[in-house]
Structure formats: structure tokens, C-alpha cells
Amino acid sequence: MRYKLTDDDVDTIRDAIAQTEGVRAAHRWLLDHGHNYGYGSVQRTYHEVAEAVNTEARLAASQAEVRSLRSQLGYTKRQYGMALEVNDQILGAISALPPPARVVRPKSTDSQTPCVVVAPVADWHYAEVIRLDDTGGINSFNRAVAVARVQYLVRKFLRWVEVERRGHELPECHIPVLGDMITGDIHDELVAYAEVPTPQAVVEVSRLLAWYIRQVSTSFQRTAVHFVKVDNHSRLTRKPQTKRRGTNSWNHVICALLRELLRDNPQIDIVEYESPRAEIKIGDAVYLAGHGDGVRANFGLPHYGFTRQDGHLARQFMSQGKRFDERLRGHWHVAEAGVHGILCGCLCGMSEFNDQRTSLWTPAAQVSFIVHPRHGWYNFTRWHLGCIQSNTLTDEEQKACLP
């Protein structure tokens, strides 16, 4: 029996291990070929060989993982650089809209108390395509319809303001922007069936929103835009996130473009909110505005969810010595006012999702109302936009919104 193996002995045992399977088989093979190595020596060499093989395999896997991570890092750096370049190019190409001509306002003939007009903007879902066939002939929607509906909304709203001025003093307008301005890329079907890519939709909806705000501002001494950047359709991740939702979103770009487009309009003030909720002070009341996508629902409106959320928020506010008096919500595509606050409707109208998944009746509508500094809101108006089912604008009228 040999107790100290030489290099030649180790090589001989390794050859036996390579030609057989297992320690016993290798030991038997060596005995059959005239080698009197002990079983322990063969077993020890066998384990050394196995450990070397495992080490090489782990090393190869680690090297492959390093190469993959380096490739991903390079791709991420290139994408980040391209995003910065695209952002600089977009901002560099934006030309600000000139200040509009002031509209002569009729003098109030009744109440001399200054009141505030509120005209929320919610759920435009720009670039989404909805076909009449897919909604049973109820609704159709695309970019051209979106522009036509915004044009129609502006005409009706400004006429309504002039009528209300016969009995009220209305020097100021607030425009809460409550999110979902684009259809986005959060679902595969939205990516597949969007009318244009998301970057193009972002630029076009920014121009359309800027045009809308500019036209509305012509009838007021001051216009305040409250841009809530946290929503769901503008996010850049498939899974909803909680950190940096206001900046990791296409809404961040839309808000930046909006500032550039309206920078020469001093009567328009833009306030942006990184938080999911905006505290808007109107008169003596605080209106808590947000997109409203944090409430779970299966079918219809989650009335219990609204109540529970409002209760939690009320406790948070009270713990800080604050309060809120009313809620403004988007997301649910319904235009109504009641005990759960004001739901601000949608521009796109009834979609396949609302019809087949939520069973919600959501005709295209936006809302407006007036706030008295002491008595709260009144004259809630639901602007029905479903009558615009196709583009009714001339090319010149459409270019006025989307130059």
C-alpha cells in the first residue's frame, strides 16, 4: 500500500476516475490494472477532481454574469444619454406661444363678491384609439377627435363664463391638471394599438394643453394651473412605483414643455406637484386634488374606498393641524359631484376596458364649477363631449392647436 502519492500516482488515479464512474469503480479499475492504491487515496483524489470541476463551472458562470451585467450597464448608459439628448432637443425646438389678445369682459350686474372659476383637466388619454365597432357604436376616439373635443370644450366653456358673469364677478380661473394626459406604455395593448409613439404623443398633447390653457386665460385676469404629475398612464414602469413617481413619468416632460410654451404669458401661473395630492387654496376652502388611482375597485365606482381613503387623509391632516374641505378626483372617467367630492370625467370617453372590465358608463365629459369664497362650490357643469365622434375641424383649425 502506498501512503504518499507522487505526481505520476495522482495522474494515474485521475485517468482511472475519468474512465469510470464513482470512487469504487475507479478503485476496482486500478486494482485490475495492477495498481495497489488505497481506497482512501482514490477517494481523496476523486473529491479533489470534483471540487476543481465545480470551481471551474462557478468561475465560468461568474464570468458570464459579469459580461451580462457589463452589457446591461452599457445599454443603460446609452439609453440615459439618448434620453438626455432627446430632452435637450425637444426643449430647444419649443417656441413659446405669444400672449393672447385680451377679451373684454361684461361688468357684473348682480353680486360684487369675486368668485373663482375651476375647470379641471383629467384623463385625456391622448393617442389612444377607440373604434366604434369595439364599443358597440357608443364611442370613437383618436388624436383628431381629441383636438375637436378640446376645441368644442373651449367654445362652450367661454360662452358659459360670459353668461355667468351677468350675475357674478369672475376675475380668476384655476385649472387642476389631474393626470393620464396620454395613453402611455403601461400595457402591451396600449403600446400595440396607440396611434403614435409615446414621445410624439407627449409633444402633441403638451401643445394641445397649452393651447387650451391659453384660450381659457383670455377671459380672466389671472389663471392658475395646478399640475399633479403623479398618475398611472404616464409612468415609465410597467409596475406601479411609489418613489419619485412625479419625476419618473412622462408628466414631468409634459409639465416642462407646458412651461416653455406658456413662458411669455405672464397672466398664467403654473404650479407643479410631486406629491400624489395637491392642496389648492380657493377662497377659504382647501381643495385636495389628485389623480385618484390609489383606490381598489372591481366593478363600478369604489364608494367605500373613497370614504376610507378620505378618512385616512383627514386623520393625517388633523395630526398636522391642517384640513381639507373638498376632493377633486380623476382616473375614474366619470363626471359627477356628490358626497365623495367632484369626479372630473375624461376626454376619451367609453373604451373597451370600461365596457368589458369595469362596467362603468363613462361618456366623454369634462367639468367646471364656480367657488364662492365663503359658501363653497356651486353651478357644477358637466360638459358632454361625446357628440364629437369624428374630426369636425378644418386643417387650419387643427393646426391652431397642434402647430
Residue in this structure with the C-alpha cell 505520476, named with its chain if needed: 8
pLDDT-based confidence at residue 396 (cuts at 50, 70, 90): low
What does pTM read for this prediction? 0.74
pLDDT score recorded for residue 179: 93
User: Cβ–Cβ contacts within 10 Å for residue 375, how many?
Assistant: 12
Q: What is the DSSP string of 199-223?
A: HHHHHHHHHHHHHHHHHHHTTSSEE
pLDDT score recorded for residue 188: 86
pLDDT-based confidence at residue 22 (cuts at 50, 70, 90): confident
Helices (H) and strands (E) in the chain, counts: 10, 11
Residue in this structure with the C-alpha cell 398664467, named with its chain if needed: 268
Torsion of CA 368, 372, 373, 374, to 10 degrees: -130
Average confidence (pLDDT) over 140-160: 95
pLDDT score recorded for residue 37: 77
Question: Is residue 209 predicted with pLDDT exceeding 90?
Answer: yes
Grid cell in block for residue 257: 414643455
pLDDT score recorded for residue 400: 56
- For 382, residues 6+ apart whose C-beta sits below 8 A from its C-beta are 335, 336, 345, 365, 367
331-365 confidence digits (pLDDT tens): 999 999 988 899 999 999 988 876 566 667 889 99
Return the amino acid letter for 383. W
d(CA 224, CA 275): 18
303-336 confidence digits (pLDDT tens): 889 999 999 999 999 999 999 999 999 999 999 9
Question: Is residue 143 predicted with pLDDT exceeding 50?
Answer: yes
Out of 107-111, 229-233, 306-310, 311-315, pick the least confident.
Answer: 107-111
Out of 66-75, 203-212, 219-228, 241-250, pick the least confident.
Answer: 66-75
pLDDT score recorded for residue 108: 55
4-21 confidence digits (pLDDT tens): 677 677 777 777 777 777
Question: Is residue 105 predicted with pLDDT exceeding 70?
Answer: no
| More confident site: 220 or 103 | 220
Given a contact cutoff of 8 angstroms between Cβ atoms, the answer to whether 176 and 343 are in contact is: no
- Helix pair 23-32, 7-19: axis angle to 10 deg: 110
- Which of 275, 168, 262, 180 lies closest to 223 in space, CA to CA? 262
In a 13 Å sphere around the CA of 328, the CA atoms on its Cβ side amount to 35
pLDDT-based confidence at residue 2 (cuts at 50, 70, 90): very low
Given a contact cutoff of 8 angstroms between Cβ atoms, the answer to whether 330 and 178 are in contact is: yes
Question: Is residue 111 predicted with pLDDT exceeding 80?
Answer: no
Work out the mean pLDDT of the chain and round it to a whole number. Answer: 86
pLDDT-based confidence at residue 403 (cuts at 50, 70, 90): very low
Q: What is the DSSP string of 85-142?
A: HHHHHHHHH--PPPPPPPPPPPPPSS--SEEEEE--B----BT--B-TGGGTTS--B-
Strand order in the sheet with 326-329: 277-282, 285-290, 326-329, 341-344, 335-338
Average confidence (pLDDT) over 213-220: 96
Grid cell in block for residue 315: 386623520
